[in-house]
Amino acid sequence: MSAKGNRLAERALQKNRWLVKQMDGMEIIFSPSLLELNEVTHAFTTRVGGSTKAPYDSFNLGRSVGDDAVKRDAIENRKKLCNTLSIDFHKLVVPGQVHSPNVALIEDLASLPDLKGVDGVTTAREQIPLLLHFADCVPVIVADPQAKAVGVFHAGWRGTAQNIVGNGVKVMARELGAKPERMRAAIGPAIGACCYPTGEDVVEALIATVADKGIAQSLIHRLADRAAPDLKAFNALQLLEAGVELVDTCDFCTACKPELFYSHRQSGGTTGRQGALVALV
Ligand SMILES: [Zn+2]
């Protein structure tokens, strides 16, 4: 690999220690680079801070899991989060999430686009909070403070294999006048390569999404005899290749920390959902 390739691989693989803040009994995680932006409120939630019962304990935000009581709790938990962040719960935009590369533009709460088949949302309107849910998949928040545009994206391996973050950057540029070189991207808590042995078909699909195959190869770890891709690093590389210069990646692995995060893999599949939320203020 060239010296330039080595630097890019290093940047894609880089992880930072993020801030974990206790707020009203919740533990909320913040990206250092997004915290610097006065125009943006954001949060990556954990499973800590609610009263929802096991195995969804205790701060599940997802309404696609559990029984009616769990679903009711999810609404209460969302309200609590919004109150703490001084955000209007009634304006929350919560898409469906189907492991697609589709990104919806939110222009007006009175005329929302179809949100069922999308895994990303973006807006340039103030006071419209965007919320997506996760349990190992990669949460990505992108902001261009000058264009006043924000987006949040859900990238499991299928979304990553369809380059949803690259698509998100394009939609933000085309529709909202955002510029990749001014964007800040925050890649939140997600499953790490340490806990993600997977099949060669997944690896091939991920490698196909990035221009530099040599760099892509360096994002695949080995666990015993199986490939273990660093999904966060693939999203970082896709963002870097799309022209985003500031990518901030959280070092938490959701499967390594079951006391702090919901993890689909670690739990065997029955678990809650943490959230990634962003809003222009
Ligand atoms: Zn791990």
pLDDT in tens, 244-257: 999 999 999 999 99
Query: What is the arithmetic mean of pLDDT over 249-278?
Result: 97
Reading across the β-sheet that carries 130-134, which strands appear in turn? 19-23, 26-30, 40-45, 274-280, 130-134
Tokens 């340490």 appear where? 194
Query: Confidence class of residue 210 from pLDDT cuts 50, 70 and 90?
Result: very high
- Tell me the CA–centroid distance for residue 112 and ligand 1, in Å: 37
- Tell me the CA–centroid distance for residue 69 and ligand 1, in Å: 30
- Tell me the CA–centroid distance for residue 8 and ligand 1, in Å: 23
- Tell me the CA–centroid distance for residue 86 and ligand 1, in Å: 33
- Tell me the CA–centroid distance for residue 190 and ligand 1, in Å: 9
Token code pair at residue 55: 């195995």
- Tell me the CA–centroid distance for residue 220 and ligand 1, in Å: 14
CA angle 76, 98, 248 (to 5 degrees): 75
The answer to whether the beta carbons of residues 109 and 87 sit under 8 Å apart is no
Question: What count of other Cβ atoms lies within 10 Å of the Cβ of residue 213?
Answer: 9
Q: In the predicted model, is pLDDT for residue 2 greater than 90?
A: no
Of 59, 86, 87, the closest CA to residue 73 belongs to: 59
pTM, whole model, 2 decimals? 0.98
- Tell me the CA–centroid distance for residue 223 and ligand 1, in Å: 11
Give 114's contacts (C-beta < 8 A, 6+ positions apart): 104
The answer to whether the beta carbons of residues 236 and 247 sit under 8 Å apart is yes
Q: Walk me through the domains of the chain, giving residue ranges and CATH numbers.
A: 3-280 (3.60.140.10)
- Tell me the CA–centroid distance for residue 255 and ligand 1, in Å: 5
Q: How far is CA 265 from CA 12, 208, 276, in A?
A: 24, 24, 19
- Tell me the CA–centroid distance for residue 252 and ligand 1, in Å: 8
Alpha-carbon distance of 108 to 121, in angstroms, equals: 13
Of 127, 60, 76, 120, the closest CA to residue 95 belongs to: 120
- Tell me the pLDDT tens digit for each residue of 64-117: 999 999 999 999 999 999 999 999 999 999 999 999 999 999 999 999 999 999
- Tell me the CA–centroid distance for residue 119 and ligand 1, in Å: 24
How far is residue 92 CA from its own chain's centroid? 17
Query: Confidence class of residue 278 from pLDDT cuts 50, 70 and 90?
Result: very high
Tokens 């693989």 appear where? 13
- Tell me the CA–centroid distance for residue 229 and ligand 1, in Å: 12
Token code pair at residue 145: 């403070």
pLDDT of residue 1: 79
